[in-house]
Structure 1
Amino acid sequence: MQVRRIRQTIATCLFSSLCAFATLCHSQSPQAITLYQRSLAATCANCHGTNGKGVVDGGMPLINNITSEQMLAQLKAYKSGALEGTIMPQLMRGYSEEQIEIIAQQLGKKE
């Protein structure tokens, strides 16, 4: 139970930081926009690892083997409640549709 609370606290802090960062980057240079896009996707590394292989025995699935389209569909399903999860539905409700598309594009498997 405490681990779950810690994860939720970390996720909330990260999301708040990204929101603040997003306002700074809104009408910035292309480099700032790229940094913003990468920072959105980087939040996923907290649970899924920097290589997208998940966390062994941590219940965090592998995400480095799906395309951007597949990832986008899953993230939208979490946001809408069509797909259940522990923290993903809560996290996705905090992102806009545009942010979810950016995350999927950044993390999806490139073919």
Structure 2
Amino acid sequence: MRIKYLKPILVTGVFIGLSQWSLPGMTQNADQLYKRGLAATCANCHGTDGKGVVDGGMPLINNLTSEQMLTKLNAYKSGALEGTIMPQLAKGYTDEQLITIANYLGKKP
């Protein structure tokens, strides 16, 4: 009769232990997914490698540092830099999101 009660307790303990063990990995994966998701919006026009798309006529962003990219994004957002679609897109992001995009896509020194 004791085994009857012991088994559910052990199973519950194992699941609780496993769920706590996996939380840091899930958080890290969610953070990376969030960053990649923000950066992926740029790929529609600038290509997945930042070299633009065929006959797209878009500026290349693959050689910009994170700092240069953030400067341009903020200039589009403030209206200091004109463009066809970038001013509208940049205004749709928070300052934190623009920093995330620039850090994710910017060329590392």
> Is TM more than 0.5 here?
yes
Identify the residue that residue 92 of structure 2 maps to in structure 1. Answer: 94
The number of residues matched between the two structures is: 84
**SS of equivalent residue, structure 1 residue 83:** coil
Does residue 78 of structure 2 align to residue 77 of structure 1? no
Partner Cα separation in structure 1 for residue 55 and residue 80 of structure 2:
25
Please list the CA deviations of residues 6-43 of structure 1 after superposition, one character each: whole Å capped at 9, or x if unmatched. Answer: xxxxxxxxxxxxxxxxxxxxxx7121011101110011
Q: How many Å apart are 1:110 and its aligned residue? A: 1.1
Where do 4+ consecutive residues of structure 1 move more than 6 Å?
Answer: none
Q: How many Å apart are 1:72 and its aligned residue? A: 0.3
- Is the 1:72–1:101 contact (alpha carbons within 8 Å) kept by the matching residues of 2? yes
1:29 paired residue among 16, 27, 35: 27
RMSD: 1.2
Q: Which of the two has higher C-alpha Rg?
A: 2
User: Runs of 5+ in structure 1 lacking a partner?
Assistant: 1-27
Identify the residue that residue 60 of structure 1 maps to in structure 2. Answer: 58
Identical aligned residues as a percent: 73
User: Runs of 5+ in structure 2 lacking a partner?
Assistant: 1-25
Partner Cα separation in structure 1 for residue 29 and residue 54 of structure 2:
34
Partner Cα separation in structure 2 for residue 70 and residue 50 of structure 1:
19
